[in-house]
Amino acid sequence: MPKTVLITGAAGGVAGHLRRELGDAYRLVLSDLHPIKDLAPHEVFRGADLGDLEALRRLMPGVDAIVHLGGQSIEGPWSDVLDRNIVGAYKLFEAARLEGVTRVVFASSCHAVGFYRLDETIEADAYFKPDGRYGVSKVFGEALGSLYAHKYGFDVLALRIGNVGPRPVDRRRLTSWLSPRDLAALVRLGIEKPDLGYEVVFGMSRNTGSCWVNSTADRLGYVPLDDAADYAEEINQKPFDPNAAANIYQGGPFVEAEAGGDPAKGF
């Protein structure tokens, strides 16, 4: 029988890509505050607020793995980030523990390390340099995943996601681009890899020339199919200000944003 996978934040754009790419390989339980009506035969919708532990517990029966995309995906006021990304992540992990679901793919973000420069090369487990409150919340989520893996025996794959989309849109995202089908390949690893334990990888495609090194993902068996370099010639013809902070740091506009984050919602 196909495994049953719970996707939180299922009304969002990243989840939309993932639903299409996973096809009917899994039975999907889709959860969000916003109803989803265009359900495929292998999908069901169950609404829940990440702040409601009991509602989250009711999502868990029959679930084999969780893909946690829920929460706030842009910079914002501390109260919003706290409620949606920190308290919400804790309650999601705790609901899973209480109901015996011990495999989680956690959508972290490159903004956990956004204050590294684009001319620095880093591994996926590079020490934290968050570029805002949103990035801090992803640092917390990674730490939470580590706690639940080592204390409670969870298998957790934290994906430091770059930018998910059909193609990269600017020079910075020649480093951070993640195609939808490569996203699905990483998520499948998180769902299927035996004895995963706790691992952190970059959510990136092959991306020749990237300042990110994804050796942990390579070790786990990730074989990305797409490369941002295929679009580099076209992108490099666009206007570019090398002195703008958004073009110096890996976090792009998030290093300066106080609210709203990247207008293109580039993770």
Q: What is the pLDDT of residues 13-25, one digit of tens each?
A: 999 999 999 988 9
DSSP classification of residue 102: -
Position 206 confidence tier, pLDDT thresholds 50, 70, 90: very high
What's residue 267's pLDDT? 39
Q: Would you name the residues annotated as active-site residues?
A: 134
Q: CA 231, 237, 241, 245: dihedral to nearest 10 degrees?
A: -10
- Residue 173 belongs to a domain: yes
Whether residue 263 has pLDDT greater than 60? no
- Tell me whether residue 126 is in a domain: yes
| Bridge partners (DSSP) listed for residue 68 | 8, 106
Residue 261 lies in a domain: no
Give the whole-angstrom CA distance, residue 19 versus residue 178: 15
Is residue 203 domain-resident?
yes
**To which residue do tokens 């951070």 refer?**
176
Number of compact structural domains in the chain? 1
Q: What is the pLDDT of residues 126-184, one digit of tens each?
A: 999 999 999 999 999 999 999 999 999 999 999 999 999 999 999 999 999 999 999 99
What is the predicted pLDDT for the residue at 260?
A: 65
CATH number, domain of 218, equals 3.40.50.720
Phi and psi at residue 206, in whole multiples of 5°? -65, -45
User: Is 262 a domain residue?
Assistant: no
- Angstrom CA distances, 52 to 1, 70, 244, stand at 30, 13, 41
In a domain, 193, yes or no: yes
pLDDT band at residue 96 using 50, 70 and 90 as cut-offs: very high
Domain extent for 251 = 4-255
Distance CA 110, CA 124 (A): 9
**265 found inside a domain:** no
Q: Is residue 107 in a domain? A: yes
